[in-house]
């Protein structure tokens, strides 16, 4: 809740997360959800995955403005006078989306003309927005934001008790009859059939029990059984073709089903999710955001989660007024550009409305995340937003005969193993050590001859560092080694250097190269191919180790790999007659694990296969971003409403601001200097 802060305007758009149009782009375009922490003047969509990047083209929709007329005004004469066409209207508001030929007139010119009309209250561009990740649930131990005992998440050791005390909050409400609370997830779509979400989706009973193709409740939306898709203009709140990972991930943090023996748990067991999709592959617009908020208001929703943002907008614009008029707690992501929102506001989080709570992100050590926006007057609180595990839509199965997670190649001279994920992704130390030992046994590594360990995980660019894992494996197995560290975009060891070693281990971790390059540079590919031609022994490991090199002679010819695609990693099983035999390995949830086929069976064999996976198996991923922090706060607010349904937005905001835990780093950049404490919030 911010009051009276003075802010400058900027024209850049920002994401409040995945990524998710991140969200939506195929990895081959490396679009969004890219490591938000590394992006400055680019938008990232949390679809992810902190791993996709894409420059967004539009600050506002071309050929469109939003016009608010006086309550009783006849809109047609004014629009006709200026040659404008009314396209859509917000129900119960005299607010219209108006279209015009942008090749003939600019947005500014149309705004100037309409602003002079007596019956026009306000006119503005149609700005675009973009997405800014205890119980018996199988991945509950990965939810460090709920309960942090110092466990290592995505390569970073946590600090015990740097969490929101969620189990403690659950214990307090265990014997209470919590009131059901609906949370509107205004975002991309939500996969309402996900097993962890299917029982937690809001239902419009009048439409569910009504007639097909009839607006049974008379609200202007036909068959809106679970919400509405304002992006596509229909009742399908989840569209696989659009991705919709971001909204699904957010929804899981708030309300994933507890005690169902699988996946994750949401913070609020009493919450139901109302999916209101207004963001798609091309972002979302102000007009559609306004419609979504109005829809939620008409259904009596008291809390909305808003993990999206833009640098387009200004204090007192139409979106700000609709938010104020909604009467709901509007939880908003501060943004992921490492910006000071006091100076460069990100909307809607930076509006000064009393009912908006702006949320930044911390990591599992209590530090302000490097990518998180901040602001001593404009960002209220923080919450867990780094390496957040939650629900994502079903991925295509990866068990196609002949496809697998890893290959081994040998022509009698050279030998190589290429894994489509890293050893850091093996769940247990004993399994990791066994798999590593079998890899080196296959390669014929010598304990009397040093191994070259190439650390190419791009930790210098903000990705997790995994070198300690590989060093510990080598040391524990009695091997000696020399480490060579490669910075992002730099060339690794040349061919002459590689040839000094009988065995080379080259790992890439979560790195996948900068926006204009890949994990392996052209020089790296040449050096590795030359090394193998000389009879070298190579272990290449990492989910994006061959990203961008799929069609190179190194991959296609020398290693004999046909890159098939990528998906969430599942547990793997060794193939008989290969390096790993019939061993089974448990793989941590990780997105974008590669899977391969052999391009030359005489040389290359699949040595690790993915087992058959059931619907939604392992459809959980780690995302980073203030988009992931925001639903933690929305979930706590829903739990508070479950205890006392009469709480107002201002009361909830005041409580959350006063009951947080101190941050360990960056507290001076946040209004309260704290992160949310669920247990204290419901005292």
* Separation of alpha carbons 205 and 239, rounded Å: 22
Collect all residues with Cβ–Cβ distance below 8 Å to 61 and sequence separation of at least 6: 125, 126, 127, 128, 285
The single residue of 137, 163, 187, 288 carrying the catalytic annotation is 187
Q: Any catalytic annotation for residue 476? A: no
Q: Any catalytic annotation for residue 634? A: no
Give which of 654, 628, 630, 635 is closest to 173, Cα–Cα: 635
Give which of 468, 532, 456 is closest to 501, Cα–Cα: 532
- 302 in Cβ contact with 328 (< 8 Å): yes
HEC readout, 624-655: CCHHHHHHHHHHHHHHHHHHCCCCCHHHHHHH
Give which of 233, 40, 191, 54 is closest to 130, Cα–Cα: 54
Q: Any catalytic annotation for residue 96? A: no
* Separation of alpha carbons 205 and 374, rounded Å: 41
- 422 in Cβ contact with 542 (< 8 Å): yes
Collect all residues with Cβ–Cβ distance below 8 Å to 82 and sequence separation of at least 6: 100, 110, 113, 114
- 158 in Cβ contact with 365 (< 8 Å): yes
The single residue of 627, 634, 667, 679 carrying the catalytic annotation is 627
The single residue of 246, 249, 616, 632 carrying the catalytic annotation is 246
Element (DSSP H or E) covering residue 431? helix 429-443
As beta bridge partners, residue 276 has 186, 228
Q: How distant is the alpha carbon of residue 169 from its chain centre?
A: 26
- 563 in Cβ contact with 540 (< 8 Å): no
Which residues have a catalytic role annotated?
187, 246, 627
């Amino acid at each position: 809740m911010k009051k009276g802060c003075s802010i400058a305007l900027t024209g850049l758009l920002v994401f409040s997360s995945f990524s998710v149009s991140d969200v939506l782009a195929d990895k081959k375009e490396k679009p969004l959800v890219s490591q938000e922490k590394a992006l400055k003047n680019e938008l990232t969509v949390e679809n992810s995955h902190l791993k996709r990047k894409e420059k967004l083209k539009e600050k506002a929709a071309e050929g469109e403005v939003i016009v608010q007329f006086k309550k009783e005004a006849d809109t047609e004469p004014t629009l006709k006078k200026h040659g404008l066409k009314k396209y859509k209207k917000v129900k119960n508001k005299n607010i219209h989306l108006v279209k015009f030929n942008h090749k003939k007139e600019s947005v500014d010119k149309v705004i100037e003309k309409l602003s002079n009309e007596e019956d026009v209250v306000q006119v503005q561009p149609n700005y675009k927005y973009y997405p800014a990740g205890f119980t018996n649930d199988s991945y509950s131990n990965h939810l460090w934001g709920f309960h942090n005992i110092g466990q290592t998440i995505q390569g970073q050791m946590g600090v015990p008790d740097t969490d929101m005390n969620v189990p403690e909050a659950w214990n307090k409400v265990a014997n209470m009859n919590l009131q059901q609370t609906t949370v509107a997830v205004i975002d991309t779509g939500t996969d309402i059939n996900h097993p962890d979400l299917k029982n937690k989706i809001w239902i419009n009973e009048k439409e569910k029990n009504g007639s097909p193709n009839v607006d049974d409740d008379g609200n202007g939306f036909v068959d809106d059984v679970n919400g509405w898709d304002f992006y596509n203009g229909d009742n399908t709140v989840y569209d696989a073709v659009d991705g919709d990972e971001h909204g699904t991930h957010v929804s899981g943090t708030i309300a994933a089903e507890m005690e169902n023996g699988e996946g994750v748990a949401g913070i609020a067991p009493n919450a139901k999710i109302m999916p209101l999709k207004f963001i798609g592959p091309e972002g979302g617009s102000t007009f559609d955001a306004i419609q979504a908020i109005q829809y939620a208001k008409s259904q009596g929703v008291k809390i909305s989660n808003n993990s999206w943002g833009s640098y387009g907008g200004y204090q007192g614009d139409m979106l700000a007024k609709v938010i104020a008029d909604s009467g709901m707690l509007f939880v908003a992501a501060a943004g992921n550009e490492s910006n000071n929102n006091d100076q460069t506001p990100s909307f809607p989080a930076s509006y000064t409305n009393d009912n908006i709570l702006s949320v930044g992100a911390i990591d599992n050590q209590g530090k302000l995340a490097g990518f998180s926006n901040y602001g001593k007057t404009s960002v209220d609180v923080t919450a867990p937003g780094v390496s957040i595990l939650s629900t994502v839509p079903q991925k295509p199965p990866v068990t196609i005969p002949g496809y697998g997670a890893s290959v081994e190649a040998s022509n009698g001279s050279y030998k190589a193993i290429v894994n489509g994920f890293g050893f850091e992704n093996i769940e247990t130390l004993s399994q990791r050590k066994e798999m590593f030992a079998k890899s080196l046994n296959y390669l014929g590594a010598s304990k009397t001859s040093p191994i070259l360990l190439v650390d190419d995980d791009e930790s210098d660019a903000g990705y997790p560092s995994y070198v300690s894992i590989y060093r510990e494996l080598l040391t524990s197995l009695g091997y000696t080694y020399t480490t060579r560290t490669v910075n992002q975009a730099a060339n690794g060891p040349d061919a002459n250097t590689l040839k000094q070693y009988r065995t080379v281990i080259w790992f890439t971790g979560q790195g996948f190269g900068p926006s204009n390059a890949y994990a392996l540079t052209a020089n790296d590919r040449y050096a590795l191919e030359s090394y193998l031609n000389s009879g070298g022994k190579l272990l290449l490991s990492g989910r994006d180790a061959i990203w961008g090199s799929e069609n190179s002679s190194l991959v296609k010819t020398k290693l004999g790999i046909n890159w098939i695609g990528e998906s969430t990693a599942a547990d793997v099983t060794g193939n008989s007659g290969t390096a790993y035999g019939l061993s089974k390995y448990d793989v941590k949830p990780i997105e974008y694990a590669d899977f391969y086929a052999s391009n030359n069976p005489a040389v290359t064999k699949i040595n690790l296969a993915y087992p058959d996976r059931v619907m939604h198996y392992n459809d959980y991923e780690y995302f980073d971003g203030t988009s992931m922090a925001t639903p933690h706060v929305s979930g706590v607010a829903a739990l508070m409403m479950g205890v006392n349904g009469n709480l107002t937005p201002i009361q909830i905001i005041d409580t959350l601001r006063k009951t947080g835990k101190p941050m360990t780093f960056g507290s001076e950049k946040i209004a309260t200097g704290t992160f949310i404490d669920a247990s204290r919030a419901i005292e």
